[in-house]
Amino acid sequence: MYYRKFNDYLKEKYGGRIQKIAIDAGFTCPNRDGTKASGGCTFCNNQSFSPYAMSRKTVQEQIEKSIEFYKNRFKNIKGFLAYFQAFTNTYADVDTLREIYDQAMSYDEIIGMSIGTRPDVVPEEVLDLIATYTVEKPEIWVEYGLQTAHFRTLRKINRAHGVSEFIDAVLRTKKRPNIKICVHVILGLPDEDYEDMMETAKVIAALGVDGIKIHPLHIVKHTVMEKQYYKGEIKELDIKEYAKLAVDFLSYLPKDIIVHRITGEASEEELIAPYWCSPKYKQEVLKAIEEEFKKREASKQLMLI
Ligand code: SF4
């Protein structure tokens, strides 16, 4: 094992498969509704934006359907992790958040939750609320979208937050030590060179977070990046380049960091480039990363001889 995979960590801890259930609780994003900015991040698909009031399945319906589906599909499931994935999942007042999180946490089968959000949308009272869930179900994660630790790139991709807000969010979250922190990054962002990307890894390593999600930059339809891509302003990575970058990036992080993801995909209908970010190439990307690890291990052994 070259890195600590999230699924393996869960399996070891809970003695079997823990299935993530992705939940869309109807949140929006302050980078789309004009509160922080409008238009969203340049890589984010604005077509899929749907206001909170739009009719959709309730949190309970989503959880119950998923539990039933996965229990029929896999025999060895030990539990489920509620993953609040869509948009900014702390973007509401505390009472609304409590109501939504309570719905998920009320199921015996749910062993915890993972909350995806922006680093500038976690006031103290929200972190205090999240910390209360760690008493009964200790698998509580907050996933911060950082993407890069470089302010100019953040500005370029219209993140509408800075590096300082990310550092502040992590330090304040760490004051509640039972909340686990995962950070999302994108490798291959416009105008970033190798050193820039490795510097992002070093910043994350210095902060001592628990988990990481690494994605290759991929361009999807209905985004600002789509237009930039067709104008020739975005360079795409190839699989081997990405594999090398991902392995180098991981080499700067603590050995025991939990890797939630090491690549990323978009559906064939949505994806523009690179082609290998479609789900059908996922195994090829993972294989390229594995090969890269093997190559490095072999060259280390040669050096020892
Ligand atoms: S990527 Fe996240 S923060 Fe950026 S616009 Fe989309 S939902 Fe908002």
Q: What is the pLDDT of residues 109-132, one digit of tens each?
A: 999 999 999 999 999 999 999 999
> How would you class 107 by CB atoms within 10 Å of its CB: exposed for 0-12, middle for 13-18, buried for 19 or more?
middle
In the prediction, which pLDDT does 189 show?
A: 98
User: Is the per-residue pLDDT at 136 higher than 60?
Assistant: yes
Which of the pair, 56 or 234, is modelled with greater confidence? Answer: 234
In the chain, the domains with their CATH numbers are 4-304 (3.20.20.70)
User: Is the per-residue pLDDT at 53 higher than 60?
Assistant: no
Q: In which region does residue 15 sit, left (phi positive, over 0), alpha (psi from -120 to 50) or beta (all else)?
A: left
Cβ of 30 closer than 6 Å to ligand 1, yes or no, is no
The model's confidence at residue 297, banded by pLDDT at 50, 70 and 90, is confident
Cβ of 90 closer than 6 Å to ligand 1, yes or no, is no
The answer to whether the beta carbons of residues 40 and 46 sit under 8 Å apart is yes
Cβ of 146 closer than 6 Å to ligand 1, yes or no, is no
User: Is the per-residue pLDDT at 156 higher than 80?
Assistant: yes
In the prediction, which pLDDT does 55 show?
A: 43
In the prediction, which pLDDT does 50 show?
A: 42
Cβ of 32 closer than 6 Å to ligand 1, yes or no, is yes
pLDDT, average across residues 126-148: 97
The model's confidence at residue 52, banded by pLDDT at 50, 70 and 90, is very low
In the prediction, which pLDDT does 64 show?
A: 97
* Nearest atom in ligand 1 to 159's CA: 4
The rounded Cα 260 to chain-centroid distance in angstroms is: 7
> How would you class 111 by CB atoms within 10 Å of its CB: exposed for 0-12, middle for 13-18, buried for 19 or more?
buried
Instruction: From 24, 27, 28, 32, give the residue whose CB has the most ligand 1 atoms within 8 Å, as the site to mutate.
Output: 32
Cβ of 274 closer than 6 Å to ligand 1, yes or no, is no
* Nearest atom in ligand 1 to 32's CA: 5
